Amino acid sequence: MATKPSLPAGKVLVDASLLVGIIDRDPDACLFIPILSRCVVTSVNFGEMLYKLEQLLDVDPQKVESAFVGLGLQIDSFGLSAARNFNELKKIDELSRSTQLAAGVAKHMVKSLSLADLACLSYGLDAKLPILTGDKHWCTLNQYGFRGVVFDYRSPVTTF
Amino acid sequence: MTQTFTSHMTSYPVRLDARRRPTLPSALLEEAGIRAGSQELVARVDGPGRVVLEDPAALLASLQASAVAKKPARNIRGSLVDHLLEDRRNDKSLKL
């Protein structure tokens, strides 16, 4: 019987998608509220989450920050050593895109990495932290050489 | 247990001592549904001369309720995460 993948003990890097999912009361995301005190998010992805919630629903960014910080979430600045991983990630992205195109995926359906994606993934590589996201595409990147560990919080097998 | 709040809540005078410590009246905490002791709170400045002290879990619950309630009026269907991921897919900053 296959072992269910589970989050390792210790710090976990979370993507903006998990935090947006929590505010949206996504039950899969809310499962992780009790472990926010061992989670870290980059300032870039935190900012992304804040603007998205305000843009869509006028959610007060100061209150969102208070709630997550109060629950123990650590917000870390994004620095140069993480940024140095962008080149490697863009090569992985190009390989992933060309493989999708070769497999017949329509050009407009090809999944690729945005700047926000790069911010989270590169910080995860730099800090050697497992990454928790709602973006299933990130879980496909290992086959193209991504060295990090990604968990999809929407997968029913991600436990802690 | 859900607590119901009215718009007429009592005001209590509170003094900061020389070491910046306030003593919060028990009736104030009771009215707010905050238990004294080990409960973690979060504090923030909410304007000149105004400090808000909150239970982060209660604040999160209120943000969640407000966000979910606003979705139909904003014509937002499906999950907010899907909107975020769609935004990222449309990010042209790194496209060749």
Model confidence at A157: pLDDT above 80: no
Q: Among A28-32, A52-56, B33-37, which stretch is predicted with the lowest mean pLDDT?
A: B33-37
Neighbours of A154 (CB within 10 A): 19
Give me B53's structure tokens.
């002290």
Asked if residue A156 has pLDDT above 80, the reply is no
Contacts of residue A116 in chain B, CB cutoff 8 Å? 88, 91
Total length of chain B = 96
Q: Which of A24, A70, A118 sits opposite B81 (nearest CB)?
A: A24
- Residue A74's region, left for phi above 0, alpha for psi from -120 to 50, else beta, is beta
What residues contact residue A138 under an 8 Å CB cut-off, 6+ apart?
A15, A117, A121, A131, A150, A152
- Smallest Cβ distance to A66: which of B56, B64, B87? B56
Comparing CA positions, the residue from A34, A27, A47, A8 lying closest to residue A132 is: A8
Per the CB < 8 A criterion, the answer to whether A34 and A22 are in contact is: no
3-state secondary structure of A74: strand
Residue A22 phi, psi (nearest 5): -65, -45
- Which amino acid makes up residue B10? T
Q: Report the residue of chain A nearest B56, measured CA to CA.
A: A67
Q: Give the predicted TM-score (pTM) of the model.
A: 0.90
pLDDT per residue over A62-103, tens digit each?
Answer: 999 999 999 999 999 999 999 999 999 999 999 999 999 999
- Is residue A2 predicted with pLDDT exceeding 60? no
* Averaged pLDDT of chain B: 88
CATH of span A12-152: 3.40.50.1010
Q: Quick one: which H or E segment has residue B56?
A: helix B56-70
pLDDT of residue B1: 47
**What is Dmax (Cα atoms) for chain A?**
47
Q: Which residues contact A117 (CB under 8 A, 6 or more apart)?
A: A135, A138, B88
- Give the Cα separation of B58 and A115 in Å (integer): 33
The domain segmentation of chain A, as residue ranges, is 12-152
Provide ipTM, 2 decimals: 0.89
C-alpha dihedral sign at A82, B79, B89, B93: negative
Q: What's the pLDDT band for A155 if we cut at 50, 70, 90?
A: confident
- Give the nearest chain B residue to A18 (CA atoms): B81
User: Which residues of chain A lie closer than 8 angstroms to B73, CB-CB?
Assistant: none
Structure token digits, residue A20: 């947006």
